[in-house]
Amino acid sequence: MKATDTQIGGNHYKNMKIQPIEFILKNNLDYAQGNVIKYICRYKDKNGIEDLKKAIHYIELLIEGEKE
């Protein structure tokens, strides 16, 4: 059994064809990039607009990092 076969705290990732963690790891995304993917993937099934705002926040952090 793989760790992605179980989910603690809901089932908002379990039915996805590619779970966010698999996509994030296979594409070597950093923490902020991974959080954008995670929040976008789950917003409809978990926290709605709150998750979209979190994704925006991480995108803003990435933009600030690019400006430096």
Q: What is the DSSP string of 1-68?
A: --GGG--SS-STTTTSSS-HHHHHHHTT--HHHHHHHHHHHHTTTTTTHHHHHHHHHHHHHHHHHHH-
- Would you state the pLDDT for residue 30? 97
Single out the residue of 68, 62, 7 nearest to residue 22, CA to CA.
7
Instruction: Please check the confidence at residue 17 and state whether its pLDDT lies above 90.
Output: no
pTM over 0.85: no
The per-residue pLDDT for range 52-64, each reduced to its tens digit, is 999 999 999 999 9
Average predicted confidence (pLDDT) for the chain: 88
Q: Lowest-confidence range among 16-20, 26-30, 57-61?
A: 16-20
- Would you state the pLDDT for residue 8? 59
